[in-house]
Structure 1
Amino acid sequence: MKKYGIGLCIAAVLLAGIVYGSYRYSLYKLDNIDLSGIGDTDPSGNEFLTVDTMDQDRITNTTKYVLEHYNATDYSLKEEKKNIPAEFVGKTREELIEYLKTYEEAPDIEDLEEGLTSFELISFSKDRIVLRKTYQPPAKDYKYYLIEENGYITVYYMDKKTVYEYTDIKVEILPEEIQKQIRSGNYITDIQQLYNFLENYSS
């Protein structure tokens, strides 16, 4: 009976040792798991990897800037090295592309007159960016477009979207031939020709 009790004590000690050893080994394994690749979790508990946007390339005031001018009529391409515009500094690739799209919708007057059709990003890095303006010059050197609106002449730039001037000239008072030209859309080649026309027919 005594031997039986001693045997039970030894077995209990061995079992306790095994349990404790397993516990210590588990702790060791947990301490050495690499968690560096695990991201945060969303509210539903799914894991996702976080992206630090600060690591993206951004334009600085030392970034080299090349602007290409492409003529889609004669297929000529000219390069111009320029200083980085202040509004470019700090922008990422995606932010610059969005800026160019916005500019395309409302370009400056000079680009309008030259027939700008697109402004796009060719290459991007923090050291150098290349942009391209593509132009489709009109067949003739027209700069202004006259059309009838609500009975009066309105002067547009050649893009036919940007208003140069709303006039008080009634189309019905013009000579019949001029009326036909205005109603079908009349092009004016330069500012002097436009001034002459407006002076002749203004009240």
Structure 2
Amino acid sequence: MDKLKLRSTIEAARASIPADERHAASVRTRETLLEQPWVQMAGLIACYWSIGTEPATHGLVFALWKHGATVILPVLRDDDDLDWAVYDGPDTLAPGRFGLMEPVDTRRGVDAIRTAALVIVPALAVDRFTGVRLGRGGGSYDRALARVGPNVPTVALLYEGELLEGVPAEPHDLPVRYAALPDGITAVAPRSA
């Protein structure tokens, strides 16, 4: 299956999940992540502010921040690369490009993600054998993941059924190390240096 068809299939499946079930799944994923020692110990965490039918991150971002982590969120640049800024509570977000909620804090630059101890990214699917994630097609997160060190935990948030045995990949597609789902966290193929 090609990327466009797979994206369409997954987006339709997500849209068919009732909102209360999506919310419950996101809460379970959040709680599972927050129980992980490597999440609890991360001082600087790169995450994202979810939109639409994505697994919800609003509660996760807030919980990480309340537990004392510095959370940086992406700011979509005109070239579709990701700048980063610090989240300092729910009142510090404003609509950016395409209506995406972004922190109003000072921009830290595209390389700010290099200093993160944990990186949480969106995905429509992840290949359980290679760790390659299927994104929305803009390449923003592949560019960001290219800046992350090989030993930093990178986690894609998914719903059940989105950890697949085969995701179409191109040379620029970068893997993640973990897939976080409502029923647990799965280690996928480790990143190469």
Q: Which has the higher contact order (CA 8 A, sep 6+)?
A: 2
Q: Name the structure where helix makes up a greater proportion of residues.
A: 1
TM-score normalised by length of structure 2: 0.23
- Specify the structure having the higher radius of gyration (Cα): 1
TM-score normalised by length of structure 1: 0.23
